[in-house]
Amino acid sequence: MSSILTGGCLCGAVRYRIHGQPFHVTHCHCISCRKASGAAFLTWFTVRLIELEWLSEKPVYYHSSAAVQRGFCPHCGATLSYQHESDPDDIDITAATLDAPEQLAPESHIWWQEHLGWGEPAEQAALPVHARNHDGV
């Protein structure tokens, strides 16, 4: 993919631009993502931190655990980002906040051991399922 991806929150106060190649496009079913978003699962993609440019306002952060900071819009509350201190060079961005989310194709489900039974999208059934993280962490 060579095009530059752009996206933002519901109210438009926080906008971003991605200059690199997204990887780890995945549906996360963990309890923290569900609670942070109010959705049955959250779809993320990962980019190098230096490839992410916040335009105008930046998100504010909530530490959902000592090592994790989740970014959200201070005005509309939209969930935007996830950073784990063990991975300081990478950042996860919510794929559904992209202006054109269908440019990315999710590759897997992670944290399936915490998934909601009624949150299973039938059309995604063929993707690999990981009980915890994609790398077994």
**Computed from CA positions of residues 108, 106, 23, 88, in that sequence, does the dihedral angle turn out positive or negative?**
negative
Interface with Zn ion, residue 9, by CB under 5 A:
yes
Q: Which of the ranges 11-19, 51-59, 60-68, 125-133 carries the binding residues for Zn ion, by CB under 5 A?
A: 11-19
Give burial (CB, 10 Å; 0-12/13-18/19+) of 100. exposed
Q: Which of the ranges 13-21, 52-60, 93-101, 128-136 carries the binding residues for Zn ion, by CB under 5 A?
A: 13-21
CB of 92 to Zn ion, least distance (A): 9
Residues in the site for Zn ion, rule: CB under 5 A? Answer: 9, 11, 13, 28, 30, 33, 73, 75-76
